[in-house]
Amino acid sequence: MTNNNTTFQERLEQLKRGRDERKLQSLQAKYQNPEKINYSNMSLREELQTRFDLDEMNRLSAKLGKANISNEKRNDNYRGYIDKYFPDSFVQSYDALNKAKKQMEKVNKIGADNYYHSVSMCENAKAGRPLSSLLLGVAKEGYDIVNKYGNKPLGEIITDSTKDMKNNIRGIYYGLKYPDKNCDEIFKNLDWVSNKMY
């Protein structure tokens, strides 16, 4: 029975990998020079689809262990879009959140996302950007749900995104409640793993 289950799981993984490889090949054929794409003549819908396709191509490349555009280039891609279509407060919020994301990835500890979600949102709130930060956070979690669907159990995806949004709201709340306090100081007693304040 165990061998049959193992064989089934292996076959399922092979089918999923084959599907991902075909999708990646299709995207790579469509976007042979992603760094030379000119968005200026595109409609908003075309630009959004192109940016989504490029991100999907990058995600699949990382998943399958094949080189593609870097995360830094992908982030520049998003920033260019935000800079073009949104007010300055969104650009500043995005830069602050992206900086926190890089710090979190550098620390690479369990529960680090709990701390950095809270602190980065707190800092944006203190800087007078609570709404733009909240909207960017909602957009990010919505994107994650769509992007991760099919690769992780849906319940796990929803739980993780809900946790991140709670951390975002908590950070904004404390940033507005204590405008004269440093955000690192506010969250210094946060247990990263349990995500509780002490």
User: For residue 197, what are the β-bridge partners?
Assistant: 190
Q: Which residues contact 116 (CB under 8 A, 6 or more apart)?
A: 100, 101, 103, 104, 107
- For residue 182, the 8-state DSSP code is -
What confidence score (pLDDT) does residue 68 get? 52
pLDDT by residue (tens digit) across 38-53? Answer: 878 888 788 878 888 8
Residue 125 banded pLDDT, cuts 50, 70, 90: very high
* Structural domains in the chain, sorted by start: 1-85 (no CATH), 88-198 (1.10.132)
DSSP strand E in the chain: where? 190-191, 196-197
The answer to whether the predicted template modeling score (pTM) of the entire model surpasses 0.75 is no
Q: Is 142's pLDDT higher than 70?
A: yes
**What residues have CB less than 8 Å from 134, skipping those under 6 apart?**
121, 168, 169, 172
The predicted pLDDT at position 72 comes to 52
| Pairwise pLDDT comparison (77 vs 135), residue with the higher score | 135
Contact 130, 176 (CB under 8 A): yes
Q: What whole-number distance in Å separates Cα of residue 74 and Cα of residue 65?
A: 17
Is the pLDDT at 34 greater than 90, yes or no?
no
Rounded Cα distance between 70 and 39, Å, is: 19
Least confident of 80-94, 114-128, 135-149, 150-164: 80-94
Q: Write down the pLDDT at residue 86.
A: 80
